[in-house]
Amino acid sequence: MNNLIILILMSTSITAQHTIPESIKEEAKIALSYYPELEHTVIQFRFKKKIKKSTMQAQPVFKSLFSKKKSYLILISEQFVIGNTKYETKNIPKDVLIGWLGHELGHVMDYENKSALGLIWFGIKYVFSKNHIKKAERTADTYAVYSGMEDYILKTKNFILKQAGIPEKYRKRIKTLYLSPEEIMEMVKERDLHKVL
């Protein structure tokens, strides 16, 4: 039993509030560094065999919704397929993984501003409304950009959209649901202008 506990601790990095698999520890810590507001937020990063229609997924832990302090789970698919190519998520380029994690942390930022009932309603709409999915994904991108992660977010988008053999249907879905590179650069200009004023 003691050996099992030691093995678990060796394979997972545990900070005060964040539980991170060792294989993505560096990337997750870099992404988290852009969100100082989440320093004391309980977030568990966990690999999953497969996530339907997604590579990563941020969600509140249901039993924490009605407690004083909400906690969150970021699920990461062990593998994903773009076109005809299968990727091991932990082996994709470092900056791309940081951007992906930064986007998911953008969802957590969005969730932090919602009540328990608001989050339940959010989840229901996410399942049934494509317009709501678009709004949620663009909001997560917006949080990431305003946190200073635009270079990582752009690298992630380029990685997804510029891979050879990517089906046009998937490319169109990404372009529809998420901020475009042009929108991101406009947002950066606006953000930087506010910093000067």
Per residue of the chain (197 residues), what is the pLDDT tens digit? Answer: 444 333 343 334 445 689 999 999 999 999 999 999 999 999 999 999 888 778 899 999 999 998 888 999 999 999 887 767 788 888 889 999 999 999 999 999 999 999 999 999 999 999 899 999 999 999 999 999 999 999 999 999 888 887 656 777 777 888 889 999 999 999 999 998 877 66
Q: What's the confidence (pLDDT) of residue 52?
A: 78
Q: Listing from the earlier edge strand, what are the strands of the sheet with 42-48? A: 12-14, 18-21, 42-48, 71-77, 56-60
Instruction: Tabulate helix, strand, coil % of the chain (nearest 5).
Output: 60, 20, 20
Q: Which amino acid, residue 154? A: L
Q: What's the confidence (pLDDT) of residue 165?
A: 63
Residues 96 and 152: their CA atoms lie apart, in Å, by 6
Query: pTM for this one?
Result: 0.87
Sequence-ordered list of residues with C-beta below 8 angstroms from that of 35, at least 6 positions apart, any chain:
105, 108, 109, 147
Residue 179: in which H helix or E strand, if any?
A: none
- Which tokens sit at 113? 């501003």
Q: How many CA atoms lie within 13 A of 150 on its CB side?
A: 18
Between 168-177 and 150-161, two packed helices, what is the crossing angle to 10 degrees?
160
What DSSP designation does 165 have? T
Q: What's the confidence (pLDDT) of residue 148?
A: 96
Q: What's the confidence (pLDDT) of residue 115?
A: 92
